[in-house]
Copies of this chain bind each other. A is one copy, B any other.
Amino acid sequence: MQPFPQPTRDDFAARAHIMKALAHGSRLLIIDELSRGERCVCDLRELVGHDMSTVSKHLTILKNAGIVEDDKRGKQVYYRLKVPCVLNFFHCLESVLSARS
């Protein structure tokens, strides 16, 4: 018996859904910022430099993918990384970039 059975087409689609959530510069910037601690939407808005509604939609995409979670305290909503292993992707991305001779 094999430890990992071959994933189905749906498995790959589910994985792709998560990768899609990570496939945007602003969202990678947000994740990088969240790696240093939780932030409210207003913090991230200032960081990203886009309309608050745009940033909110980016955060919704990350939340639906299961990458971040949120927490409303008072008037502000705080976001934080739920699955920090996505940070490991960054190292590999650098390898890809540097391997591009």
Interface residues of A (CB under 8 A from B): 7, 9, 12-16, 18-20, 22-29, 32, 65-67, 82-83, 85-86, 88-93, 95-97, 99-100
Contacts and interface: CB of A to CB of B under 8 A. Distances in A.
Contacts of A16: 22-25, 27-28
Q: How many monomers of this chain does the complex have?
A: 2
Contact of A96 (B23, B65, B100): B65
Given A13-B25, A23-B20, A25-B16, A99 B86 contact: no
A95 to B, nearest CB: 5
Contacts of A7: 32
Given A22-B23, A23-B23, A88-B92, A97 B28 contact: no
A95 B85 contact: yes
Contacts of A24: 16, 19
Nearest to A82: B99
A13 B15 CA distance: 21
8 contacts: A13-B25, A14-B97, A16-B27, A16-B28, A19-B89, A22-B23, A66-B100, A85-B91
